[in-house]
Amino acid sequence: MHSFAVFFADEAAVGVTRVEAPDAATAEAMVMEEHPGARVHAVDGATVNEENRVRMLGAWLRRQGQ
């Protein structure tokens, strides 16, 4: 298993959550179970920390057109 940080955005919420999964596609699917219809993007969990997670979330949202 590998640690992923998954960015998500749907009508109800926007955020970043950590999941343990064998690959990025599985990590994204796990988050979509809790947020059906959400846009999701998984990255290596080691790249996201408390100092940069808000900045990275904002950058991802801008790329999504939000």
Percentage of residues of the chain with pLDDT beyond 90 = 91
How far apart (Å, rounded) are the C-alpha atoms in residues 47 and 66? Answer: 22
Q: Average pLDDT for residues 33-46, to the nearest whole number?
A: 96
- Whole-model pTM over 0.85: yes
The pLDDT value recorded for residue 66 is 60
Q: What pLDDT sits at residue 65?
A: 81
Dist. CA 32–CA 65, nearest whole Å? 19
Number of C-beta neighbours around residue 66 at 10 A: 10
Alpha helices in 17-64 (DSSP H): 24-34, 53-63
Span 46-66, average pLDDT: 91
Cα(32)–Cα(22) distance, integer angstroms: 16
Over the stretch 9-39, which tens digit does the pLDDT of each residue have?
999 999 999 999 999 999 999 999 999 999 9
